[in-house]
Structure 1
Amino acid sequence: MTRPASGNGSTRAADTDRIEVAQLLTDAAASGVLGLTEYEDRLAKAYAATTYDELDRLSNDLPGAVTRGRRGPCRPAPSTLLLAILSGFERRGRWNVPKRMTTFALWGGGVIDMRYADFTSHDVEIRSYSIMGGQTILVPPEVNLDLHGKAVMGSFEHDVTGEGSPGAPCVKIRGLSLWGSVGVKRKKRKPA
């Protein structure tokens, strides 16, 4: 975590600091150091943390916590375009969610699963377009959603149940579905 020069633990943490601790927690869960329940609990607290002290309490017992200050600030992953033209695309497992992503399915389909992904930006914008195709976007329970899309003789999911955690990343999904579908689901992580 990149600390200000004062080193005062009660100093307010930035979004990039919360994202960095979230990535450290994900590493610990992926390697089996944290169980799923403890991981999700600490992750929700990390996104809600406002100071460096709170973030340190959540991560100081994990491997890599001592060296994390040397990495520098978290930078958003580059914008991404996912295409499925008479084919498919898939993003699952551990991957970096960019600040901006565009998905397009024409007579094809795709899956974007963010449950195990690393968010590199607090605000994520996804533009999804489906023409006679289908897309499914899976988000973990703590992520906040902002959905606005249009459907013509198809469907664009607008009613996703549940609220995200305060301070967690916000995923804004916009787009169009023409004789196709864009489905968004809030889904829990599976135990290892």
Structure 2
Amino acid sequence: MTAEPSRSAGRMRASDADREAVVDQLREAAAEGRIDLDELDTRLGQALAARTRGELVPLTDDLGPAVLDSGEPLTLQGGVHGAARSGRWKVPPRIVAYGGMGGVRLDFTQAECRLREIEVEVDAQMAGVRIVVPLGWKAETDALDLGLGGLKDKTSGDRLPGTPVLRITGTCGMGGVVIRHPNLRERRKQRKELSRST
């Protein structure tokens, strides 16, 4: 019975974000000399033509940790005490956030992200979902149900070349969804952390 979920995950249709994640990993492997240019061309062609996640997995299996997971999204549940993802973390292609009574905070400002698109499904519930993105990132919210809490998009809306797009779906619930850039205090904290690490 345990094999069934992985088989169904392998049959899932690959998204543009899935294919792009594999392409990025292949290019990085070629830059590090782990595959030669001929093999890179072959694998890139297979990645771009892949229709399912199952077709993508073998392309990176021998290159270390796979970019693709089993098909399960990163799920954050606010519950009573809240949940957050911040600091240095690796962004997966799909994220699901349930606000609950404590709320969820997603902070992408220091995250490692090589994806062109990130699917974020929200159910803001009572306490809402707060999303912090770097300057230049764009959030698309046309498919978001505003619910009672509504949406506050405080980002500039201007996307810089090569930066990701967050495709946000779901419902704002009663707590609402806020999307913003880092505030002054957060930017100062980031600069201090950067100066310590150099």
Secondary structure of 2:158's counterpart equals coil
Residue range with higher mean Cα deviation, 160-169 or 129-138: 160-169
Q: Which residue of 1 is the match for residue 67 of structure 2?
A: 75
Secondary structure of 1:131's counterpart equals coil
Identify the match of residue 129 of structure 1 among 117, 123, 128: 123
1: CA distance between counterparts of 2:76 and 2:171? 15
Equivalent pair of 1:84/1:110 in contact (CA under 8 Å): yes
Q: Which residue of 2 is the match for residue 84 of structure 1?
A: 78
Sequence identity percentage: 23
1: CA distance between counterparts of 2:101 and 2:83? 12
Equivalent pair of 1:19/1:119 in contact (CA under 8 Å): no
Secondary structure of 1:191's counterpart equals helix
Question: Could you report, residue by residue, the CA deviation over 1:113-165 in whole angstroms, capped at 9, with x for unpaired residues?
Answer: 00111114321100011111122100111323212322232122345324121
Higher share in helix? 2
1: CA distance between counterparts of 2:167 and 2:112? 16
Q: Which residue of 2 is the match for residue 153 of structure 1?
A: 148
Q: What is the count of residue pairs matched by the alignment?
A: 137
Higher share in strand? 1
Q: Which residue of 1 is the match for residue 109 of structure 2?
A: 115
C-alpha root-mean-square deviation of aligned residues, in Å? Answer: 3.1
Corresponding letter in the other structure for 1:75: V
Secondary structure of 1:96's counterpart equals coil
Structure 2: 5+ residue stretches without partners: 1-18, 35-61, 193-198
Q: Are the structure 2 counterparts of residues 17 and 75 from structure 1 closer, same or farther at C-alpha, using a change threshold of 3 Å?
A: closer
Relative to the length of structure 2, the TM-score reads 0.58
Larger relative contact order (CA 8 Å, sep ≥ 6): 1
1: CA distance between counterparts of 2:21 and 2:76? 25
Q: How is 1:5-44 mapped onto 2 (pairs within 5 angstroms)?
A: 15-16=20-21
Q: Are the structure 2 counterparts of residues 142 and 19 from structure 1 closer, same or farther at C-alpha, using a change threshold of 3 Å?
A: farther
Relative to the length of structure 1, the TM-score reads 0.59
Q: Are the structure 2 counterparts of residues 178 and 104 from structure 1 closer, same or farther at C-alpha, using a change threshold of 3 Å?
A: same
Equivalent pair of 1:19/1:122 in contact (CA under 8 Å): no
> After the TM superposition, which segments of 4 or more aligned residues of structure 1 sit over 3 Å from their partners?
14-20, 65-74
